[in-house]
A and B are shown apart, each in its own frame.
Chain A
Amino acid sequence: MSDIENKLRSLAFREPPQDIRRRVLAATPRWTWRDWFWPSPVAWGAIAAVWLVALATEPSAPSTESSGARPLLAIAARYHQGFEFDIK
């Protein structure tokens, strides 16, 4: 690199006006829940499908509760009451 190139390179340019930064950041779209889901809709859809299948098949699982209509809630209630689960 020549002498003139080195001297030119040593010169620092002026900074951009500060208000431009504020205006640019103000133009950023608001973050919504959709943005969380959008990057991987297939993955989220798959998780939702797994949950739906689990909920749909739950009533057919063996249960000691007579109600049977809300087995997950019944299990949770038993857990909170300190009962041991009967895993057989």
Chain B
Amino acid sequence: MPPDLALIYDTHARAIFAFLLNFTRNDADAGDILQDVFVKVAERPSLLDGVKQIRPWLIRMAHRQAIDLVRRRGSHTRALESSAAETPLFAPVEDADGEAFRAAVAEAMAELPEEQRAVVHLKIWEDMTFAQIADAIGMSANTAASRYRYALDKLEALLRPLNKEYQP
């Protein structure tokens, strides 16, 4: 029997899209890569043969495609960086403080290099270990840990004014 693609999509698409949105900082790119990844699985279900954990496998695939896209674009990506901070990352909320904090986080994340954003995302929002992150995005666990620490320090510094006031 082929895998239940609808179930796989419903279980993982939101997380993969979040990762891609945070990594590419571009709605259209995140959507395109998300679609490419799942269409590949739809067309060749045998790709999942032997895959024990689908989520890290999908993240690895999505990350590779995102890297390819960034490399293909080259300097053009830097032009897009200016609008990256304006790309809304998070679901909107009603309260003004919450919205301001989300906007500040999106802006602070845009300040990080892509690989640091990827590590922070997988650690915080996917709750992956550094070994899992290393496996998913192709770096050593030590490198992932040091990038995470460096990125978190930077985020903490950038968000300090709002962080003390904001209580979710």
Contacts and interface: CB of A to CB of B under 8 A. Distances in A.
Interface of A: 2-5, 7-17, 20-21, 23-25, 27-29, 31, 35, 39
A24 B17 CA distance: 14
A4 B163 contact: yes
A8 to B, nearest CB: 5
A12 B5 contact: no
Contacts, number: 86
Interface string B77-117: 00000000000111100000000011001000000000000
Given A7-B101, A11-B102, A24-B5, A16 B17 contact: yes
Contacts of A13: 14, 17-18, 21-22, 89-91, 125
Given A20-B13, A20-B31, A23-B35, 7 more contacts: A2-B156, A7-B101, A7-B166, A13-B14, A13-B22, A13-B91, A16-B30
Contacts of B17: 13-16
B141 interface: no
What are the 9 A-B residue pairs with the smallest beta carbon separation, nearest first?
A13-B18, A16-B17, A27-B42, A24-B38, A27-B39, A10-B168, A28-B42, A12-B91, A20-B35
Contacts of B5: 24-25, 28
Nearest to B148: A5
A21 B125 CA distance: 22
Contacts of A3: 163
B70 interface: no
B14 A23 contact: no
A14 B168 CA distance: 17
29 contacts: A2-B152, A4-B155, A4-B156, A7-B101, A8-B120, A8-B125, A8-B155, A10-B168, A11-B90, A11-B102, A11-B105, A12-B90, A13-B14, A13-B17, A13-B89, A13-B91, A14-B21, A15-B91, A16-B13, A16-B14, A20-B13, A20-B31, A20-B34, A24-B42, A25-B42, A27-B42, A27-B43, A28-B5, A29-B42
B13 A9 contact: no
Greatest chain B CB density within 10 A among A12, A14, A35 is at A14
Interface in B115-168: 120, 124-125, 152, 155-156, 159, 163, 166, 168
